[in-house]
């Protein structure tokens, strides 16, 4: 039975089998017909495909059959976290310097590059070497988008740090917080750590006006290591906020509000909606990303 399953899996993943699935779908999509999510999530997409960003250019991406790329192939650039990516594309359109912290395979970097028509200088940070290799592959497919990949963990101090990695061919949940996935200390591995402030100083970036932070429960550490950058560049910050966000994360957000930032949630279609700190916990239960936007002139 296992041999039969392996054979069927190999047939399904063969390029000719993939093409047989893709071509009819592309024809249907041209007429406005879409494939239900319950179906396309079982259709593993492998290989390079291209997708467009509204009012921008397009980007190419390599899929290995994993969730993010699969959704982007079937649904477009905003197939994964649609509201957030629509807001991100809008914010990226006028960006000059972008930091994608917790880049995974680089979707947010690719969207930022395409939305800015290749004008923005983009730096993608991914600490796991097996994932960073895929991020570099996507950056290489889009050399006109000015994306540079850095295999480091962005945190509140520079030097070696421990990351807790569940392993596997792909990963969405590695964290510098050992309690994030209840991993034992022996599951940790040492990687290079770097602060935003040290990176901006060492790289000589002239502009940092947009930052994405998605580091699995350690967003407060990134913000603490970015104090000078926040003061000097006043970037807009798009940040993941999970329902179980720590007190330290909530305090880091509150500290930014005290430094001339306003808090926004991302509504339907990527619309940014001003909100209050007291509403944040309730909002985080159903949605995962917020925007910290500097007041102009401060």
Q: What is the pLDDT of residues 84-100, one digit of tens each?
A: 999 999 999 999 999 99
54 part of a folded domain:
no
Identify whether 272 is part of a domain. yes
To which residue do tokens 């063969």 refer?
14
Structure tokens at 192: 């290079």
User: Is pLDDT of 29 > 70?
Assistant: no
**Per-residue pLDDT at 11 exceeds 60:** no
Residue 217 lies in a domain: yes
For residue 287, is it within any domain? Answer: yes
DSSP string, 29-61: HHTT----HHHHTTS--EEEEEEE-TTS-EEEE
- Please report whether residue 31 resides in a domain: no
CA-CA-CA-CA torsion for 15, 20, 25, 27, nearest 10 degrees?
110
Q: Does residue 194 contact residue 226 with C-beta atoms inside 8 Å?
A: no
CA geometry: angle at 189 spanning 184 and 191, to 5°? 140
Mean pLDDT of the chain: 85
Q: Residue 223's domain spans which residues?
A: 77-294
43 within a domain of the structure (yes/no): no
- Which range, of 1-10, 94-103, 218-227, averages the lowest pLDDT? 1-10
Q: How many domains does the chain have?
A: 1
Q: Percent of the chain, pLDDT > 90? A: 56
Output the pTM of the full model. 0.86
CATH of the domain at 145: 3.40.50.150
Tokens of 62: 């390599």
Q: How confident is the model at residue 32 (pLDDT cuts 50, 70, 90)?
A: low
Contact 24, 43 (CB under 8 A): no
Residue 115 in any domain: the answer is yes
Q: What is the band of 188 on the pLDDT scale with cuts at 50, 70, 90?
A: confident
- Check whether 67 has a pLDDT greater than 90: no
Instruction: Grade residue 8 by pLDDT with cuts at 50, 70 and 90.
Output: very low
116 belongs to a structural domain? yes
């Amino acid at each position: 039975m296992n041999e039969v399953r392996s054979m069927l899996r190999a047939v399904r993943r063969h390029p000719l089998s993939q093409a047989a699935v893709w071509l009819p779908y592309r024809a249907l999509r041209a007429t406005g017909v879409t494939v239900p999510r319950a179906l396309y999530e079982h259709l593993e997409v492998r290989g390079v495909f291209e997708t467009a960003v509204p009012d921008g250019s397009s980007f190419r991406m390599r899929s290995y059959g994993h969730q993010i790329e699969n959704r982007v192939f079937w649904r477009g650039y905003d197939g994964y976290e649609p509201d957030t990516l629509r807001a991100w594309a809008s914010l990226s359109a006028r960006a000059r310097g972008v930091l994608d912290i917790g880049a995974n395979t680089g979707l947010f970097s690719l969207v930022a590059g395409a939305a800015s028509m290749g004008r923005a200088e983009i730096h993608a940070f991914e600490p796991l070497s097996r994932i960073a290799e895929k991020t570099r592959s996507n950056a290489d497919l889009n050399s006109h988008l000015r994306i540079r990949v850095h295999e480091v963990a962005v945190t509140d101090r520079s030097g070696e740090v421990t990351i807790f990695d569940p392993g596997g061919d792909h990963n969405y949940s590695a964290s510098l917080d050992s309690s994030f996935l209840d991993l034992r200390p022996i599951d940790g591995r040492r990687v290079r750590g770097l602060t935003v402030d040290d990176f901006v100083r060492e790289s000589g970036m002239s502009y940092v006006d947009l930052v994405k932070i998605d580091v699995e429960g350690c967003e407060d550490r990134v913000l603490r290591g970015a104090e000078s950058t926040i003061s000097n560049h006043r970037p807009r910050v798009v940040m993941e906020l999970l329902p179980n966000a720590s007190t330290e994360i909530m305090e880091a957000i509150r500290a930014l509000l005290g430094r001339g930032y306003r808090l926004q949630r991302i509504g339907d279609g990527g619309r940014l909606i001003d909100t209050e700190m007291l509403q944040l916990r309730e909002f985080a239960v159903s949605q995962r990303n917020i925007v910290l936007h500097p007041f102009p002139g401060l």
